[in-house]
Chain A
């Protein structure tokens, strides 16, 4: 939409003009690099600016802009000597980002980040009360895996899969370490699966940095770990007692509906084993309506568990 573009341009001009006033005769290249604009965009912004000024709009009222040779000068724009102030939302969000990064387990304390936080807090004039606890099971592996990502080294994992409950050994070319929905994940190219995979850190039994170079990270960042439906996935219907009504908030579901006083949740999954264990762990508040194969697997797991606890 043109409106959004106009407001983005306005925002840019309100930041760019103070800097141009401060740096008269600055090379065009420096402006375009610093503000991420093309020369043509810069010239169009300056052109508009040249028609703006104090009411009256006579000589001496209008902003003067000039691109002479390769240098930019803006004059008579004292009202834009300072950038537009930080909005409360921007300042809070910056502070939140800084606090969160500083709170990641195993991230080396950064003096720069700490000083930046102090300055932001001073600008806010009050201390926002934010508690950020990013610790989760498995986060003791963060330093090693972060090092693997940064040094571009292949990692050897001993991993207990959630989808099949089996332990495998695999080499992974690491791309990123991601915290999402209360868990940490290593994302990367799995040489065993020959595809991109997410590994939950609390399921990593062992991680070893190999000496092998992992190659470059793909240009497009991988999406955050989340269930993506695939062709071949099984459609599942579960019945929930009120004690388990929170369950749809934790899963990616297709629908939640109340039928004859029973809450039904519809979802798809690529892993019946994982879902069977979930249903067993939440019994009797969660029951399988379909498919029969899932109910059978829950039954087998329950029977085996009872056998373990016989006598």
Chain B
């Protein structure tokens, strides 16, 4: 009996070299390895092989056998199969290898790098790209960036081919609901991935956090279904706009131990406040977010101005105290 590897290779060759699409019957009759005794076993084998080849990226297409015959056949278009001449120089290949390694995407795209390497003249065995070409084994990289997120690869593909997508989305504190979206861009900010796109249900551009997609992402209809966005997408699209009202700056006093951390958020350097603390001026976006930030320092930070932010912080600290020491408790 012929092994699976041999059968798959023969199928690729036969489908690639045929002038007319081969029907399932043709494949069973002509291609080595498809001599399963009963039709059902053949059908299952052939279906699985086609699916595996497609998963590897082999472009197996379906087409009518010819104009006068409405039976469906299969073939591989050589023009779609062949890697176009990309011609990466060894240093470019090495740079990509490092990028894959640093981003932890070797498993996802290492095979792609190996394809590109066919055209490159590497100085083996010492070429910097060599260890990655050889296999998925991983040496520690001097720098690492985590880029993985659920659905990222599928959404990038939909964005590139302008394919509409549908997915269940779960906003904070509300149940999940289906959304239909034209994907315009993917944005990574603050360690989170967002899809920015036209939300058909809301009739406007929205940002969706990938980790709040509560299920599968399905493509809807054909690629190239919509025009690219007229307004380019910006990373700021994923951040809610600052409220129009409310104080824009706050004055805070920081204890010595945390002064340098507060300085990272403050505008300009701080100034000595008389005691051993430092006075800073800190920009305020959303007032609640500001109070959350200030409370993380606990007693090491005092908000002196404006009074309404100080009052808001005091209210929240009182609520924390009341919850932590219920009335009647010691």
Footprint of B on A, CB under 8 Å?
Answer: 2-3, 6-7, 9-15, 18-19, 22, 30, 33-36, 48-49, 51-55, 57, 79, 81-94, 96-98, 100-102, 104, 107, 110, 112-113, 115-116, 119-120, 122-124, 126, 128-134, 136-138, 146, 149-150, 160, 165-167, 175-183, 202-203, 205, 217-219, 221-222, 224, 242-243, 245-246, 249, 277-284, 287-288, 295-296, 298-299, 301-309
The answer to whether B159 touches A101 (Cβ under 8 A) is no
Contacts of B133 in A (CB 8 A): 34-36
The 6 closest A-B CB pairs, nearest first, are: A182-B191, A36-B134, A90-B112, A283-B320, A87-B57, A299-B324
Closest chain B residue, CB of each to CB of A224: B146
What number of B residues sit within 8 Å (CB to CB) of A?
A: 121
Give the CA-CA distance A130 to B108 in the complex, in Å: 18
Give the CA-CA distance A116 to B93 in the complex, in Å: 7
The answer to whether A84 touches B88 (Cβ under 8 A) is no
Determine if B282 is an interface residue (Cβ-Cβ < 8 Å): no
| A-B CB pair tally, cutoff 8 Å | 367
Chain A binding surface SS class: helix
B299 partner, pick from A242, A299, A307, beta carbons under 8 A:
A307
Give the CA-CA distance A126 to B58 in the complex, in Å: 21
Give the CA-CA distance A51 to B32 in the complex, in Å: 9
Give the CA-CA distance A279 to B257 in the complex, in Å: 21
Give the CA-CA distance A299 to B30 in the complex, in Å: 80
The answer to whether B140 touches A49 (Cβ under 8 A) is no
Determine if B327 is an interface residue (Cβ-Cβ < 8 Å): no
The answer to whether B92 touches A119 (Cβ under 8 A) is yes
Footprint of A on B, CB under 8 Å?
Answer: 2-6, 8-10, 12-14, 16-17, 30-32, 52, 55-59, 78, 80-84, 86-89, 91-96, 98-100, 102-103, 105, 108-109, 111-118, 122, 124-125, 130, 133-135, 138-147, 153, 156-157, 159-161, 172-173, 184-192, 211, 233-235, 257-258, 260-261, 264-265, 292-293, 295-303, 310, 313-314, 316-321, 323-325
Contacts of A284 in B (CB 8 A): 316, 319-320, 323
